[in-house]
Amino acid sequence: MTTRALPPETPAGADRVPLLVPVSSRVLRKAQGVALCIALGAALSFGVGGCDSGADGGDGAATGWPAIALDPTVTPPQKLSATGLARRVQGALQLHPDLVPYDLTMPLFSDYAEKRRALWVPKGKVITWRDDGPLEFPEGSILVKSFLFSEDMRDPGAGAGPRVIETRVMVKGATDWKAWPYIWDAEGGDATLAVNGAVKEIAFVDPAGTSRVANYLIPQRNQCLDCHDQGVDGEQVTGIIGPRARYLHRDGVYGGKTINQLQHLHDLGLLPAMPALTTLKPATSLDEVRKVGVPNLHGPALESAARDYLEVNCAHCHSAKGVEGRTSQLFLDAKNDNPFLYGVCKAPSSAGKGGFGRQYDVVPGHPDKSILVYRLETAELGAMMPDIGRSLPDTLGIALVRKWIEALPPVNCDR
Ligand code: HEC
Ligand code: HEC
């Protein structure tokens, strides 16, 4: 992964760059946006294990939270507290009560980090349904994602509770999203805007009970775009990845009640138009995979689990729209139904280190002959996939992809 210097600001009007420019000359896109201001909400502690916002996107009483304010056209405040989005009280992360927390059925793996996600839509505006790709958020919307590490992930609430490492913020401008990383101070209740990123050594016990030390990477601001930039109509646009209907289609806990997250957004008036949820197939739940155990997955359930895992971990680069991985012509989005394009008997076409002694990305029946598995397992720079965002192997994901490849109908790739 090459790192790129933050490019200079471009004049207004030059807010979209053609996809074909070399990635090294990406320019910041300026959008026209609006300053945001909403009513103060009631302060509420946001427990670690649950995802209870207790807030209904409304007009809570003012109890010490500033109004949420983030202007997508300018560099945001140095301190996260000034945005009104989040704060830390006695080590615990608290989100503004007007944010709506959500989880994904299948999340991205980031060195076992525990993640807390939430969304906010300006008052009076709504989210538009999309069958495919992320839901369409109105200008001024904000998505936040925080990364935490419990000392022992089998018991996240134990001891002093999880360490809050970073909070990533995306705010919707007129044409695309702006991405901003904040790193939490070692002590105290605030996080600081950190466009240059950082690497932190973090020790923890993973959910399976293995002791690990991550060289956890907080990306530089321009590295955010490696994953968040997509090709749209021949142009390179910064976008969101997670909030797709299939991935939001799961239960959350709001105000002490368990309710489907999409239904909850609908009930809040934030997602007025949506199809009957019974007609929508959710993306595979990783919690469910963990519970059932990879060895017990077979047939279509195994196929969807592996394909959904590859989609959320790889397809932002490896799809027809992915900017970083397009040169490889390896398309790992779950909708791609062409086996060659998801790697079956495909010799690598990209400029990386090649095959690492293996010939094809995916050899049905043979995970140990598949380049894709090698790159998922290794931590060697230049070979590791994803090439950014992890320093440790994801043992559950590896087991899942191995089992899927073992079960693929046999083909002789050398014929
Ligand atoms: C390795 C690829 C990768 C990098 C680098 C990356 N992200 Fe993301 N990000 C994702 C994926 C995939 C999701 C959705 C899945 C999830 O949340 O588990 C996501 C989700 C998010 C979200 C929640 C909204 C959404 O798009 O789903 C925010 C906010 C966010 N990222 C901000 C950032 C910022 C800011 C940076 C740079 C500091 C960054 N990301 C770097 C892959 C990446
Ligand atoms: C941040 C962007 C990014 C992400 C995320 C990413 N890749 Fe890649 N991948 C690349 C780039 C760029 C190349 C081409 C250069 C190379 O081969 O190293 C590549 C190449 C590959 C290749 C060689 C493909 C070929 O046929 O040439 C494989 C296999 C691969 N990636 C697997 C994966 C898997 C599996 C994941 C998810 C677990 C993943 N990648 C996630 C950027 C990414």
| Model confidence pLDDT, tens digit, residues 337-365 | 999 999 999 999 865 557 888 999 999 99
| DSSP-derived secondary structure letter, 136 | B
Give one DSSP letter per residue of 41-105, joined into a string.
-------SSS------SS-PPPSSPPPP---TTSPPPSBGGGGTSEEEETTEEEE-TTSEEE--S
Q: Quick check: helix, strand or coil at residue 116?
A: strand
Phi and psi angles of residue 118, each rounded to the nearest 5 degrees, phi first: -155, 155
Cα(168)–Cα(178) distance, rounded to whole angstroms?
A: 11
3-state secondary structure of 9: strand
Number of H helices, E strands in the chain: 7, 15
Read off the amino acid at residue 377: E
For residue range 36-48, list pLDDT tens digits in order: 222 222 222 333 2
Distances (CA, A) of 308 to 246, 325, 333, 335, 346: 10, 18, 8, 10, 20
Q: What is the mean pLDDT of residues 60-66?
A: 65
Q: What is the mean pLDDT of residues 78-106?
A: 95
Q: How many angstroms separate the CA atoms of 328 and 405, rounded?
A: 20
Mutation choice for ligand 2 from 317, 333, 356, 369, CB with most ligand atoms inside 8 A: 317
Handedness of CA 29, 35, 38, 40 (dihedral sign): positive
Residue 209 Cα to chain centre, angstroms: 24
What is the structure's pLDDT at 350?
A: 61
Q: Is 372 helix (H, G, I), strand (E, B) or coil?
A: helix
Identify the CA nearest to 28 among candidates 6, 51, 53.
6
CA distance 369 to 358: 6
Which one-letter amino acid corresponds to residue 6?
Answer: L
Q: Which helix (H) or strand (E) holds 311?
A: helix 299-314
Split at pLDDT 50, 70, 90, the class of 260 is very high
Q: How confident is the model at residue 13 (pLDDT cuts 50, 70, 90)?
A: very low
Top-confidence residue, 14 or 30: 14
Q: Which of residues 300 and 11 earns the better pLDDT score?
A: 300
Is a pLDDT exceeding 60 seen at residue 407?
yes
Determine which residue's CA is closest to atom 28 belonging to ligand 2: 372
Of all ligands present, the nearest one to the C-alpha of 145 is 1
Measured distance CA(135)–CA(142) in Å, rounded: 13
Asked, as a colleague might, if the bond just before 386 is cis with ω within 30 of 0, I would say: yes
Report helix angle 299-314 to 395-407, nearest 10: 130
Residue pair 384/275 in contact by the 8 Å Cβ criterion: no
Parallel, antiparallel, or unpaired for β 142-149 and 163-172? antiparallel
Would you state the pLDDT for residue 159? 81
Distance 238 CA to ligand 2 centre (A): 19
Q: Report whether pLDDT(12) > 70.
A: no
- Establish whether residue 324 lines the binding site of ligand 2, counting it when its CB lies within 6 angstroms of any ligand atom: yes
pLDDT > 90? residue 22: no
Please indicate whether residue 61 or residue 371 has the higher confidence score (pLDDT): 371
Q: What is the pLDDT of residues 286-299, one digit of tens each?
A: 999 999 999 999 99
pLDDT for position 25? 26
Cα 23 to Cα 28, 164, 315, 343, distances in angstroms: 12, 32, 18, 24
What's the 241 CA to ligand 1 centre distance in angstroms?
Answer: 7
- pLDDT score recorded for residue 38: 22
Sign of the CA dihedral 212, 215, 218, 224? negative
Percentage above 90 pLDDT, the chain: 72
- Structure-block tokens of residue 303: 């196929």
Residue 214 predicted with pLDDT over 50: yes
Q: Whose CA is nearest to atom 7 of ligand 2?
A: 386
| Number of Cβ within a 10 Å radius of residue 194 | 18
Instruction: Please name the helix (run of DSSP H) or strand (run of DSSP E) that holds residue 405, with its range, or none.
Output: helix 395-407
C-alpha distances in Å from residue 208, one per residue of 260, 281, 398? 28, 29, 14
**What residues are in contact with ligand 1 under a 6 Å CB criterion?**
104, 107-108, 117, 143-145, 168-170, 179-181, 219, 221, 223-224, 226-228, 240-243, 312, 316, 386, 388-389
CA of 200 to the centre of ligand 1 (A): 18
CA angle at 240 for the pair 1 and 138, rounded to the nearest 5°: 150
Q: What is the pLDDT of residue 91?
A: 86
Closest ligand relative to 143 C-alpha:
1
pLDDT at residue 23 greater than cutoff 80? no
